[in-house]
Structure 1
Amino acid sequence: MYDTFQVRVHPAKSGSCWVTVAGELDVMSAPGVRDTLRVAIADYRSVVVDCSGVTFCDCSGLSALLAAVRAAQANGIELRLRAVPHSLARLLRLTHTGSAFTIEQPDVR
């Protein structure tokens, strides 16, 4: 449901941040994600996008993530996806776009 979608930037150690994305990453929410990631890439040297709360991702959401990774690479910024849920991992695999991203798994404690 769109009204529960959230994207937030959390500054971390010097020059880096976490961006948490939660809810459905779709045609309605993708512009906000695109804008938030654009700002994060402009403000930080390292950006980790925590996808653990993503419940759905369509082609618009994937496009926003791809635009972010391209912008990051063009500007020498490190952008990583973290805690990618199965449904998003499947979309990346089916679209052959997974190799565009550095994907890390969450810490297991």
Structure 2
Amino acid sequence: MKYIGFLFILLTLSCQPSKPKSLLIYTRNGEGFVHDNIEASVEALEKLASENNYEVQVTDSPDFFTPENLKQIDCIIFSNSNNEAFTSQDQRDAFKHYIESGGGFVGIHSASGSE
């Protein structure tokens, strides 16, 4: 009987709703070409995130990239970002530390052109 009680406790704990994951969608474009599909991309990503229990923040500001802010983020998506992604070395260092510490990252479309 105690095994059934233990099993019940395990099942109850495993059925608790999980804390939503935190997702940052980053859309900064530096000097040069700016994609006209950014708004549609953000809308699609927000819809997918909502359907999969993610909390979403969207920004095009490199000022978000601080160690304190990035500690709260499970995954960063560079969505159609381009050219200069950051305006300071501190922002680059915070992003680098985030990645080196196991933070999630996805680059979409021209994200490979972000510096």
TM-score normalised by L of structure 2: 0.39
* Larger strand proportion of the pair: 1
Q: Which has the higher contact order (CA 8 A, sep 6+)?
A: 2
